[in-house]
Structure formats: C-alpha cells, structure tokens
C-alpha cells in the first residue's frame, strides 16, 4: 500500500465503542499506538476516564507487502509460519492461552460483521502497565518477580499435551492439518527460503550462502523425530509482555500462537531477553534443536525485516538495525562477523 493510509478516528470508532461498551459510553480521545505492522492498535479513552484497546485488521493498517510466493486461504494458514494476522487467529489464541491459565487481555468484543466498522475489529481490556521491556530497563530488580511469573506461564504452555498436531492454534483446533511433515522440516523449509532471500538482498550473506546452507541442512539432519507439541507464542520478546496492576505478565500480539516445539519459543526468548533469559530457561530441552532453531531464527530476522521494508513501514532505521544485528549473528555461526 502506498503512502496515503486512512486510519481510524473518534467518529469512525463510535459504533465499535457502543457495541462493546453500551450506548451510554462516549469516546473522549483516540490514540493510535505505534509498533504494530500487521494490525492497527488504538487506545480509546472514555468520558468517565476508563479506557479500552481496539485492534483493527484492515489493509490500511498492514505494512507488510504482498508476497507472490505466499499461498492463500486454507493452504496459507496451514503453514505455521505464514502471515499471522486475522481476528480468527486472535480469538483462537486468546481462548487457548486462557484455557492453559496464561494471562492475555480479556476480549470485550470480537466483531466480523462490518456493521460497526468496515474491517474486522476486537475490543479488549486496556492493561495500562509498562511493558516488561520497559520495566527491565528502568527497574531490573522490580522486574525480577514478573520474569519468574512469566517463566511459570511458559511452563504451563510447554506442558500442554492436547495438540493432535503442530501448526497455528486456530488451524489445528479447527481440525486442520499442518503444512510439512514435522516442526523441524517446517523450520528447514523456512530457513532455506529466508537464506535465499537474505543472500539476494545482502552481498555479505550472498558470499557465504553455500556455507550457511550446508550448516542449516547438517544441523537439521542431526535432529531426532518428536511427536509432542507445546503451546508457543513464537515472538515472545519483552515488548510483547505487558505488566498488569498486580505484577502479572500479560501476553499480547498473540495471533501467531502455535502448537510447536518448545525449543522454537526458547530460541527466540534467548535472543530477545539476552542477560535476563536464565530464569526462563526450561530444563530438558533438545540442544540440537535449539542450535538449529537459533540459526533459522537469525536468518528469519534478516529476511523478514527486509521484506517489510519493501513497503512503507515508517520506522525504517529501527528495522535496519534489526537486520544488521541479526546478519552479524548469522555470520557468527560460521565464525565470522
């Protein structure tokens, strides 16, 4: 989509507020929150001082350019790594997390009728506390109990044993079959695509593409099959954890929730939590999977932001910083930077 985007305002959201909160509530202020790349996120402050969050799944709010390689419809949803955006994914993820005892903002309205807004919308409770990322930066000691509570939430997700297969929660819970024969095969396929994309876009990866491919394939070949799947957020950085007024972690950006290998979650946690990761570590994980997934994750964090920058995503320097950091970490697997 080009540079002219039409965002929501108080007038356009009035019907949504009435449907979620009743006819007597009025919107005093609308603030579009920054950071989202796939959906719009708005805070509605009401005339009595209360507030809610509105999610909007609309092309005007989605900064990801279309991919000609991406399958559409059910075939696309069957790929656990396909574009994780949609109200159905959100509702299914909220339902699963709540069922396993993990806190996420409570849904007040999930509407696909287009009667109140010309796109799918959800209204959820507003958790007004800081993100865990902000708390770790401003008050590391105060963040410690929150990190330990997050570890307990991750434990509940890891111990779930009711998944009949791997894939997006919304797909599997609806009886769908996954794309690919195993978690590790799905990661291999994605890693090879990401490597090809990164090599095409950056000559430093291009120069060592064959070596990286040999490493990816070799580490994949060493993995032993497994049949049990955890509940996995997939992109659980400290910026995707809010802290409520009781000091509890609250998971957000949940549409990508999957049944998958717990090591995929922890490969990302290790990257994003860095020195704060040790309390989150889970004993008994497969170190070969972790190593393979860590390399695949780094390649994804090079190729993915570069794809996003094909569009008009506004915070380009931030994305380029992610690319550069993860490119250097990818080269480090070969003993280079």
Rounded Cα distance between 323 and 314, Å, is: 15
Instruction: List Cβ neighbours of 207 (8 Å cut-off, separation of 6 or more).
Output: none
Q: Is the pLDDT of residue 72 over 60?
A: no
pLDDT of residue 277: 98
User: What's residue 76's pLDDT?
Assistant: 58
Could you tell me the two tokens for 207? Answer: 């120069």
Find tokens 């549409």 and name the residue.
255
- State residue 179's pLDDT score: 63
pLDDT digits (tens, 9 = 90+) for 86-120: 999 999 999 999 999 999 999 999 999 999 999 99
Query: Does 178 score more than 90 pLDDT?
Result: no
| Model pLDDT, residue 309 | 81
Residue 69 pLDDT greater than 50, yes or no: no
CATH fold of 10-332: Aminoglycoside 3'-phosphotransferase; Chain: A, domain 2 (3.90.1200)
pLDDT of res. 180? 65
Phi, psi of 53 (to 5 degrees): -110, 140
What pTM did the predictor assign? 0.90
Mean pLDDT of all residues in 266-277 = 97
Question: What are 207-216's pLDDT values in tens digits?
Answer: 999 999 999 9
Residue 124, SS3 per DSSP: strand
Which are the contacts of 163, defined by CB distance < 8 A and separation ≥ 6? 172, 229, 231, 259
Give residue 303's pLDDT band: very low, low, confident or very high (50, 70, 90): very high
d(CA 213, CA 44): 48
The pLDDT of residue 71 is 45
pLDDT confidence of residue 61: 75
Query: To 5 degrees, how large is the angle CA 59–CA 62–CA 65?
Result: 95
Domain residue limits, the chain: 10-332
Q: Give me the mean pLDDT over the 115-144 stretch.
A: 95
Pair of tokens at residue 102: 């993990």
37: region left, alpha or beta (phi > 0 left; psi from -120 to 50 alpha): alpha
């Amino acid at each position: 989509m080009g540079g002219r985007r039409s965002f929501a305002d108080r007038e356009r959201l009035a019907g949504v507020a009435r449907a979620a909160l009743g006819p007597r509530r009025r919107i005093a202020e609308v603030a579009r929150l920054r950071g989202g790349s796939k959906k719009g996120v708005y805070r509605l402050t009401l005339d009595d001082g209360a507030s809610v969050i509105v999610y909007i799944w609309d092309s005007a709010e989605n900064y990801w350019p279309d991919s000609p390689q991406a399958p559409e419809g059910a075939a696309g949803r069957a790929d656990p790594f396909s574009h994780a955006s949609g109200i159905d994914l959100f509702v299914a993820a909220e339902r699963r997390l709540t069922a396993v005892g993990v806190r996420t903002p409570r849904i007040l309205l999930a509407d696909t009728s287009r009667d109140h807004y010309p796109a799918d919308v959800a209204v959820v409770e507003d958790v007004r506390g800081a993100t865990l990322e902000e708390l770790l930066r401003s008050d590391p000691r105060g963040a410690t109990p929150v990190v330990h509570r997050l570890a307990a939430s991750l434990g509940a997700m890891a111990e779930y044993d009711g998944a009949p297969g791997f894939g997006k929660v919304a797909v599997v819970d609806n009886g769908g079959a996954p794309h690919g024969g195993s978690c590790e095969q799905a990661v291999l396929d994605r890693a090879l695509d990401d490597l090809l994309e990164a090599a095409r876009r950056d000559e430093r990866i291009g120069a060592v593409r064959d070596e990286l491919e040999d490493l990816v394939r070799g580490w994949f070949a060493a993995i032993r099959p497994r049949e049990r799947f955890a509940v996995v957020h997939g992109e659980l950085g400290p910026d995707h954890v809010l802290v409520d007024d009781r000091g509890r972690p609250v998971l957000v950006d949940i549409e990508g929730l999957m049944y998958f290998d717990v090591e995929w979650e922890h490969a990302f946690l290790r990257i994003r939590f860095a020195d704060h990761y040790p309390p989150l570590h889970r004993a008994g994980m497969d170190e070969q999977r972790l190593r393979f997934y860590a390399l695949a994750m780094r390649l994804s964090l090079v190729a993915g932001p570069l794809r996003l920058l094909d569009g008009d995503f506004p915070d380009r320097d931030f994305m380029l910083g992610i690319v550069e950091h993860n490119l250097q970490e990818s080269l480090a697997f070969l003993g280079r930077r």
